[in-house]
């Protein structure tokens, strides 16, 4: 592919020779002889050169002034500066402004070819990174939280508000599968820290000793098996966002260390006596009731209050069933692309079953169901056979009060199923613990313990 090389050179003979040479190397060359012409090319015509080769001293000024203006306006591309009488201050300024190289005239063409080739590689890499950043920003905009219901619109509004402010910490709550990870990515990629890293960790995934090393890092020999230095996730997230999923599962001692790290903005690797400054925004998520855990002593109140300057709650899918009309076509289109399928039609019978299902696994469960259906589809119609949802008794009527539908496709863990069963029993018995215990065939004390464990005390 032909790329643009902008040459700013007022010596006509040298300028023509450079232009002829690089056109012969498959460059699209634009040659100008003054800063005014250079500004017209860069700012008025909006040409985006991959590389700029500029004589520092031009008839109407210093090329470094144009470089500074280009950087201020966000114009990319690598710059190579030529000069017949370079000085140390000019060299320093050129490097401070981001010029790649500083060559004295007359320059050796073979060396200049090497420099220009290196500049082109750097510039292409920068463009790829910029394109990826733009793509992520578009993919993870607040509009990524799909749905036309009032609940979905409220979430998008909060995401847009939060993305516009430099908050230091936030907690996202909601049941399993409601999109807490998506919300965290939207907040990062749509916010002021989008240029920084997003580091994600599941606090329930590792035992305490490993989690401490993951969060804060370690030095060589800090413990058995620590053969070298490791930067912790908080250190890796410097300048960006650390997403702590399943925050309620974090060990009590680690909660203390995390609070200190957030308050002091410093961490200490395991086995080290040196503190390291970190600038990290914390986004935490939990599907458990943190307030109840704090009241019961299961979670540090000071950490809870430090993290909950802002809170965002994501509603379950059963409370926004209208959004199925947006979510179903979206997931079908996604899996059509991934699996080279041509599903175009969703039968009315499928829509009825989708709308009547309770969706205890929420959007994650819906996505899994549609992935299976699209991958097994043999034509343009979404097959009802592969929904594998609990059949609706009574010829399509809603399930009776003693029937509960749970997915067996991996979208719910055993603990999530247990919580769903207990919550449903409470709802169907007017939150009367004695009646719910009787319906479940257990004792009131056992049920009260599980209600407390899953944070269902507040009728959620």
For residues 8-34, give the mean pLDDT. Answer: 90
Condensed to tens digits (0 to 9), the pLDDT of residues 294-343 reads 998 889 999 999 999 899 999 999 999 999 999 999 999 999 999 999 99
Of 342, 367, 341, 343, give the one whose Cα is nearest residue 354: 367
Residue 396: what pLDDT?
45
pLDDT at 1 over 60: no
Residue 390: what pLDDT?
65
Q: What percent of the chain has pLDDT over 90?
A: 45
pLDDT at 414 over 80: no
Condensed to tens digits (0 to 9), the pLDDT of residues 135-168 reads 665 678 899 999 999 999 999 999 999 999 999 9
For residues 433-441, give the mean pLDDT. Answer: 83
Residue 314: what pLDDT?
95
Name the band, by pLDDT with cuts 50, 70 and 90, for residue 216.
very high
Q: How many CB atoms lie within 10 A of CB 117?
A: 12
CA distances from 263 to 26, 266, 282 (A): 56, 8, 11
Contact 383, 336 (CB under 8 A): no
Structural domains in the chain, sorted by start: 3-136 (3.40.50.2300), 140-313 (3.40.50.300), 319-403 (1.10.8.60), 413-460 (1.10.10)
pLDDT at 393 over 50: no
Q: How many CB atoms lie within 10 A of CB 158?
A: 19
For residues 76-81, give the mean pLDDT. Answer: 88
pLDDT at 84 over 60: yes
> 139 vs 268, which has greater pLDDT?
268
For residues 404-421, give the mean pLDDT. Answer: 75
Kindly report the pTM of this predicted structure. 0.65
In whole angstroms, give the CA distance from residue 348 to residue 230: 55
Tokens 């190289």 belong to: 101
Residue 397: what pLDDT?
46
Residue 411: what pLDDT?
67
Residue 460: what pLDDT?
44
Condensed to tens digits (0 to 9), the pLDDT of residues 337-366 reads 999 999 999 999 999 999 999 999 999 999
Name the band, by pLDDT with cuts 50, 70 and 90, for residue 235.
very high
Beta bridge partners of 82: 55, 103
Residue 376: what pLDDT?
93
DSSP 3-state percent helix, strand, coil across the chain (nearest 5)? 50, 15, 35
pLDDT at 276 over 50: yes
Span between the terminal Cα atoms of the chain, in Å: 58
Residue 394: what pLDDT?
45
The SS3 assignment for 67 reads: helix
Name the band, by pLDDT with cuts 50, 70 and 90, for residue 431.
confident
Name the band, by pLDDT with cuts 50, 70 and 90, for residue 180.
very high
For residues 127-142, give the mean pLDDT. Answer: 71
CA angle, 144 then 148 then 153, to 5°: 70
Range in 151-165, 191-205, 420-434 with the lowest mean pLDDT? 420-434
pLDDT, averaged across the chain: 86
Residue 75: what pLDDT?
83
């Amino acid at each position: 592919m032909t790329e643009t090389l902008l040459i700013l050179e007022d010596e006509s003979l040298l300028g023509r020779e450079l232009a002829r040479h690089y056109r012969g190397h498959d460059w699209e060359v634009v040659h100008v002889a003054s800063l005014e012409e250079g500004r017209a090319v860069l700012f008025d015509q909006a040409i985006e050169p991959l590389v700029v080769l500029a004589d520092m001293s031009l008839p109407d000024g210093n090329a470094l002034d144009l470089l500074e203006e280009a950087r201020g306006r966000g114009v990319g591309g690598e710059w190579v500066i030529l000069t017949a009488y370079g000085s140390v201050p000019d060299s320093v300024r050129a490097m401070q402004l981001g010029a790649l190289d500083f060559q004295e005239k007359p320059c050796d063409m073979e060396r200049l070819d090497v420099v220009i080739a290196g500049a082109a590689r750097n510039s292409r890499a920068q463009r790829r990174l910029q394109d990826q950043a733009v793509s992520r920003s578009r993919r993870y905009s607040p509009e990524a939280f799909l749905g036309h219901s009032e609940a979905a619109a409220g979430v998008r509004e909060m995401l847009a508000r939060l993305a516009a402010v430099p908050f230091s910490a936030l907690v996202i709550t909601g049941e399993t599968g409601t999109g807490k990870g998506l919300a965290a990515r939207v907040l990062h990629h749509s916010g002021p820290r989008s240029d920084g890293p997003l580091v994600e960790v599941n606090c329930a995934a590792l035992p305490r000793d490993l989690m401490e090393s993951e969060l804060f890092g370690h030095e060589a020999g800090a413990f058995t098996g620590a053969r070298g230095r490791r930067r912790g996730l908080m250190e890796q997230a410097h300048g960006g966002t650390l997403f702590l999923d399943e925050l309620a599962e974090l060990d009590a001692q680690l909660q203390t260390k995390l609070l200190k790290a957030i308050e002091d903005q410093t961490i200490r690797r395991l086995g080290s006596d040196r503190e390291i400054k970190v600038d990290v925004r914390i986004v935490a998520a939990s599907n458990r009731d943190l307030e109840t855990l704090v009241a019961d002593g299961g979670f540090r109140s000071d950490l809870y209050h430090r993290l909950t300057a802002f809170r965002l709650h994501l509603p379950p899918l059963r409370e926004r069933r209208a959004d199925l009309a947006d979510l179903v076509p979206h997931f079908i289109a996604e899996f059509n692309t991934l699996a080279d399928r041509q599903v175009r039609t969703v039968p009315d019978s499928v829509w009825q079953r989708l709308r009547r299902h309770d969706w205890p696994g929420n959007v994650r469960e819906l996505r899994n169901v549609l992935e299976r259906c699209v991958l097994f589809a043999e034509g343009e119609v979404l097959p009802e056979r592969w929904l594998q949802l609990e059949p609706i008794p009574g010829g399509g009527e809603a399930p009776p009060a003693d029937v509960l539908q749970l997915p067996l496709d991996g979208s719910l863990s055993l603990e999530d199923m247990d919580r769903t069963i207990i919550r449903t029993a409470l709802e169907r018995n007017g939150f009367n613990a004695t009646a719910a215990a009787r319906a479940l065939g257990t004792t009131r004390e056992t049920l009260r313990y599980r209600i407390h464990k899953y944070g269902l005390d507040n009728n959620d």
